A and B are shown apart, each in its own frame.
Chain A
């Protein structure tokens, strides 16, 4: 202690004691004050990144993402847009769960309420793959999803409606709409483009050859993934209708709402609570390498989908796709070479039969892929199996087309498989569009760097059709060109903005709902899609499962836009976020 300036003796003993006691008292008060302040999180500005595809790979994704980003910014949320190639985007979104918001077309078709089971059930929120990429968890939703599996008729429809209402209410993702894909095709070699064309089986097999000398059907695509990977279990490489659908046969195929026997020639239900099914494979089916397709392959496939390590690793490693459908199956037993018995979990027959539409894989190939995956012989510390990392090229399937070659990641060639039951002289009981098989010797999928050069290639006779939709700005050019015919069809896979509910503040359903209320579907319809879209609020739009109050109309209330005519009302938006408990800093940025 220093001497005071006036030179007085300084501090008495009593004053020292007094101040010590006072100090201690103060300190204890101080500490609790300190404790009350330390370790709190300083509010920080909310930032979101939107991951999406570049313009070369999707004509709508970047425009949607930029528009969303502008709307979010208007509400004070700093937003960036990150374009990335499809393989990388879906690796980050589906497998690594490394995203805030992602914009794109949903990589699968949703036509049945049970398709939402794997998408939204909380038990899948921790698994990588197409199942619940949003990390969404809600016990109420889980109940509804389980309910629609066991209820029949009206009760199921009511459960399905409740699921969709809940979906809009808590917004794990926001449906934007079903695009009308614009395609260019030539008609001098093949016709029958009336249906939307994509590499899906119904469209490829439904064509008619008009030029007897035409041997090769050539389709262009801006998606390079089929040239890099043909593994049907690899979620990040598979699109909504995929080349692997042509390479592999499922037991049954759904076409226009009806389930047709495919690899299974026939089946019969033997029990119903829970359902049991006895099913017989078609005779003399062969894998593309000449081995016979057997009941053991079927039993193996369903076991593999549930655990690709087949029990060899400490924890189960489920497949990255088909999770909802494979979860319906309790047990599959091969009774003899061609007969299989399915025992399902507690569900209706209608739901159980969905499990029959997954591709059947050859045991003699995939049984070698059940070990822990390594990189060049090195274990990189990730528990996954070879089956979920292999590119599976060359693929061995049993489908109507067999793998021929891939040329420098630019061209995938598939040949008509003559031993397939469609191509043999046997009665199949399938509708006429399938029954005659592939109307060509060879299918060539050509990678093109952008959609305008795809149209150019078709006009020049180097390809027959654009496999995926092109930008609406090309419609007039396609219409003007004599060699080209223009086809516009509603795509069955919707555009969505998916939210990662594992990340704050997207964990908060109020925040997600407000984000989805910053999306003006009517404005997107005109400014981005130029009319080539059917705006929608539910993934089941266009099916009979859609409850009437969720059908979209420009002035509907499904999710009310916080503004009007595509312009966010900043005050209204901020008031809504404030009402949800959020605040704004001096710069007008939303903080949490």
Chain B
């Protein structure tokens, strides 16, 4: 399958996932109302979304040049991580049944993107601007800290450093490599941004349970699956995951309502 086919598949899968869950979680009436008022709602959402887009653009520049800088100034911590946790990932891989690995493979790619995009979409449609700003700010903090760590630390994931760990994602679903190799340099594993962003989305869902009550359980299950997938697929160390969870907690704490209001007033 070529890159175009893979991208088409991703676009179709994500559109279906997003529209169905928008219908279930937000409800058709709210969606219709949002669509009728789409100009005003998009206008209100423009600034937080623009910030997020800017951070993503900066992120891709850092990924390009950061890797070279990282080799000059960064600390190679691969073996220290291995020394601390040893065979955790290999053990997880050995107990995971094949169907579960396939499930995690799809979660790692589609589930993750869905988990991050849905809160943005739902808040724009319903006009929940405060939650939108919280989400955008929390994501931004994740990226900012993650990028800094990627420059400061050089670290290969377990599939690259431990012979007993299999690169399961690329063995079972090789077409996804076309998507992930473009975004992920293989020395950028500490911390796991997959983990931190997913956990961020889940924590925000828990914190604002009353806004989209049906979303909370889905977000928690998905986030847990993404966290597992990063390890079972051999991409991240348990250490990266722990660091990712801490980063998520920090970003959600930082992006609390008071601070959002303070930014909003300015």
Binding site for B on A (CB under 8 A): 49, 54-56, 62-63, 66, 80-85, 88, 448-450, 452-453, 455-456, 460, 462, 528
Contact = CB atoms under 8 A, between A and B. Distances in A.
Interface of B: 1-2, 71, 76, 78-79, 82-83, 154, 156, 159-163, 167, 170-171, 174-175, 177-178, 180-181, 186-187
B2 A84 contact: no
Contacts of A80: 79, 83
12 contacts: A54-B186, A82-B78, A83-B78, A88-B71, A449-B177, A449-B180, A450-B177, A453-B170, A455-B174, A460-B1, A462-B2, A528-B163
Given A56-B186, A82-B76, A462-B2, A449 B181 contact: yes
A81 B161 contact: yes
Given A81-B79, A462-B2, A453 B160 contact: no
A462 B177 CA distance: 14
A43 to B, nearest CB: 23
Given A56-B186, A83-B78, A453 B162 contact: no
A55 B78 contact: no
A452 B171 contact: yes
B79 A82 contact: yes
Given A81-B161, A84-B71, 4 more contacts: A54-B186, A83-B161, A449-B177, A455-B174
Given A54-B161, A460-B2, A453 B156 contact: no
Contacts of A455: 174
Contacts of A82: 76, 78-79
A456 B6 CA distance: 13
Contacts of B178: 453
Contacts, number: 66
Contact of B163 (A63, A85, A460): A63
Contacts of B76: 82, 84
B187 A453 contact: no
A82 B80 CA distance: 10
B161 A62 contact: yes
A83 B76 CA distance: 9
B181 A54 contact: no
Nearest to A53: B160
A66 B164 CA distance: 10
Given A54-B156, A450-B177, A453-B177, A85 B167 contact: no
Given A81-B79, A83-B78, A452-B174, A66 B163 contact: yes
Given A84-B154, A453-B177, A460-B2, A55 B79 contact: no
A85 B187 contact: yes
A83 B80 CA distance: 12
A277 B263 CA distance: 80
B186 A453 contact: no
Contact of B181 (A84, A453, A528): A453
Nearest to B161: A83
Contact of A55 (B2, B83, B163): B163
A82 B75 CA distance: 11
Contacts of B186: 54, 56, 449
A448 B170 CA distance: 12
Contact of A452 (B2, B161, B170): B170
Nearest to A79: B79
A83 B156 CA distance: 7
B174 A456 contact: yes
A401 B78 CA distance: 40
Nearest to B187: A85
A422 to B, nearest CB: 33
B177 A62 contact: no
Contacts of A460: 1-2
A567 B187 CA distance: 32
B174 A55 contact: no
A443 to B, nearest CB: 20
Contact of B159 (A49, A55, A81, A456): A55
A2 to B, nearest CB: 55
Contact of B160 (A62, A448, A456, A528): A62
Contacts of B156: 54, 83
Contacts of A453: 170, 174, 177-178, 181
A62 B156 CA distance: 12
Contacts of B159: 55
A450 B167 contact: yes
A589 to B, nearest CB: 15
B177 A55 contact: no
A228 to B, nearest CB: 9
B174 to A, nearest CB: 4
Contacts of B187: 85
A66 B90 CA distance: 14
Nearest to A459: B174
A430 to B, nearest CB: 38
A49 B186 CA distance: 21
Contacts of A462: 2
A218 B76 CA distance: 34
A56 B163 contact: no
Contacts of A450: 167, 170, 177
A62 B160 CA distance: 8
Contacts of B170: 449-450, 452-453
A59 to B, nearest CB: 10
B258 to A, nearest CB: 43
Contact of B162 (A49, A66, A448, A452): A66
Nearest to B157: A54
Contacts of B180: 449
Contacts of B83: 80
A82 B171 CA distance: 24
Contacts of A81: 78-79, 82, 161
A453 to B, nearest CB: 4
A162 B96 CA distance: 54
A49 B83 CA distance: 13
Contacts of A88: 71
Nearest to B160: A54
Contacts of B162: 62, 66
Contacts of A452: 167, 170-171, 174, 177
A490 B40 CA distance: 67
A55 B167 contact: yes
B61 to A, nearest CB: 13
Contacts of A528: 163
A85 B78 CA distance: 13
Contacts of A83: 78, 156, 160-161
Nearest to B186: A56
A528 B164 CA distance: 11
Nearest to A477: B171
Which 6 pairs of residues, A with B, have the shortest CB-CB distance?
A: A456-B174, A54-B160, A449-B181, A453-B177, A63-B163, A80-B79
A448 B175 CA distance: 12
A344 B133 CA distance: 75
B175 A456 contact: yes
Contacts of B78: 81-83
B265 to A, nearest CB: 43
A55 B166 CA distance: 10
A452 B174 CA distance: 7
A145 to B, nearest CB: 35
Nearest to A91: B71
Contacts of B1: 460
B94 to A, nearest CB: 16
